[in-house]
């Protein structure tokens, strides 16, 4: 069971990093703000900050204060929130800040 928790924690971190990078890539490529400004660069600082909640979930799962199912549900909720916030920034043509991602 301990090995499974560590494996799941690593998977959660991987999902978090992939989610942050893919959403940022999509924002930098397809948002009207990026198209109008011509700036299609990724903001790695925002990606690292966006991955922090996934690190927290992974740490909690690895240390066993919550069940594995709760860790998976928390990860899915953070993925949905992060993806939704990026989508709102794409469609509103607004800039994306770390604070706006989760407070919005």
Q: What is the pLDDT of residues 72-87, one digit of tens each?
A: 999 999 999 888 888 8
Please give the torsion angle defined by the CA atoms of residues 20, 47, 25 and 95, in that order, rounded to the nearest 10 degrees: 110
Residue 98 has pLDDT above 60, yes or no: no
pTM given for the model: 0.82
Give the pLDDT band (50/70/90) at residue 89: confident
Domain that holds residue 79: 2-102
Tell me the average pLDDT across 12-35: 87
The domain tally of the chain equals: 1
pLDDT band at 11 (very low <50, low <70, confident <90, very high): very high
pLDDT at 82: 87
| CA separation for the pair 93, 83 (Å, rounded) | 15
- φ and ψ at residue 30, rounded to 5 degrees: -110, -10
Token pair in block for residue 98: 């770390």
């Amino acid at each position: 069971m301990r090995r499974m928790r560590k494996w799941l924690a690593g998977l959660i971190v991987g999902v978090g990093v992939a989610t942050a990078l893919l959403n940022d890539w999509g924002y930098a490529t397809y948002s009207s703000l990026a198209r109008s400004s011509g700036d299609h660069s990724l903001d790695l600082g925002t990606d690292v900050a966006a991955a922090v909640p996934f690190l927290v979930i992974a740490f909690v799962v690895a240390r066993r204060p919550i069940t594995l199912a709760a860790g998976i549900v928390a990860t899915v909720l953070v993925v949905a929130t992060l993806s939704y916030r990026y989508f709102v920034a794409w469609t509103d043509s607004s800039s994306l800040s770390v604070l706006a991602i989760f407070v919005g």
